[in-house]
Structure 1
Amino acid sequence: MKKVTFLAAAIALLGFTSIDANAQATQAAEQAQTQTQNDNKEKVTKDQLPAPVKAVLDHEAYKEWTVGDIYKVKPAEGAANAKVVYEIALTNKEGQTGTITLDEQGQDASKEQE
């Protein structure tokens, strides 16, 4: 009976160690991905935006929104058909926030990033 109890305890210990190792590996991978994304992001001002992107922000659809942080997101190295996009944070009078993603031509680029 002691052997069975010892064996069960040993298996449980190995299981917990394996779960912990997997969690650490997953966390390290997520941190690396976040770091890569941050390396490709550059904060810019509205004045630095291409004219088509400025035109979208000046459109009537966004007249009730205040522009917040703007990030120029460069494509990852080696990405096929990748484009520079702009992530623009917006806030309205009621305090609602949102983010739009536009390419350099002012087109919606949110579907391309998924």
Structure 2
Amino acid sequence: MPSRSKPASALLSISMTALLLGSMALPLPALAAIDYQGSSSSSSDQLGVIHRDAHGTYTLHSSGYSSADLEKLQDQLKSTHTEMEKLQSTISDQARTIEELKRSVNDLSSRVK
């Protein structure tokens, strides 16, 4: 069995759970049309979504997203979070510097008077 990273395994588990829970709401003919295979998946496999139209008909569609796409989004989110932390640190440093400058200006202006 090929080894998988934790995020990919968790994503697969979540996807399968969602598919199975969603399939419980499907009528029997629709359930018969779903073929579950326990074989290994590929990172390029598309995630499925269940759609219910206005008439109550359920259909299974491709989401257009793969687990690789979701992993990329996770990586981008982590990168963005790290960048935001750096920016917040910069803002805090700048606020400290401004407060120090204000104290210095006030101190100098009181000495000049």
Normalized per residue, the structure richer in helix is 2
Answer yes or no: same fold by TM over 0.5. Answer: no
Could you state the TM-score of these two structures normalised by the residue count of structure 2? Answer: 0.35
Specify which structure has the higher proportion of strand.
Answer: 1
**Greater Rg by CA:** 2
* TM-score (structure 1 length as normaliser): 0.35
